[in-house]
Amino acid sequence: MTAYRTPYLDGANKIPTARLGGAGATASNYLCGDQTWKTPAGGAGNFGEATIPFAAWLTEDTITVTGQTSILATSKILCSIYAENDDIYAQDWRTPLIRNIVPGVGFDITLRSEIGAFKGGVKMNWTWSN
């Protein structure tokens, strides 16, 4: 069978957001199932991506997220782990711990390995709501 590559896919075989209609994804909007672009509740800036570095062989590492001017002391923050390859598995990690919420500034995300020392970056998605 001959492989067929559509001209609408990028080099990673994904559809570029510019082809999805509208202005495309930005740091403050996302594409909904009804094919409209929306801004998350709470306004722009309440979601993002961070990499926990694990620069040395560690069982726990922390990153500080700043620049969150709308965050409140009572904000609910959720994190999820993801990877673009099979090197990192979600079951190898404890639930990310959110600490040191500073209203109008940001918070810390701490991640701990379930299986022992780890070295390398772990990508996280985070979102918060008031």
pLDDT mean over 55-83: 83
Distances (CA, A) of 56 to 39, 40, 51, 105, 113: 37, 35, 14, 27, 13
DSSP state, 12?
A: T
- Comparing 44 with 13, which gets the higher pLDDT? 13
Query: Residue length, the chain?
Result: 130
pLDDT at 61 over 80: yes
Residue-range domains of the chain with CATH = 1-39 (no CATH), 41-129 (2.60.40)
Predicted pLDDT at 23: 60
Q: Is the pLDDT of residue 4 over 70?
A: no
Tell me: pLDDT of 62 over 80.
Answer: yes
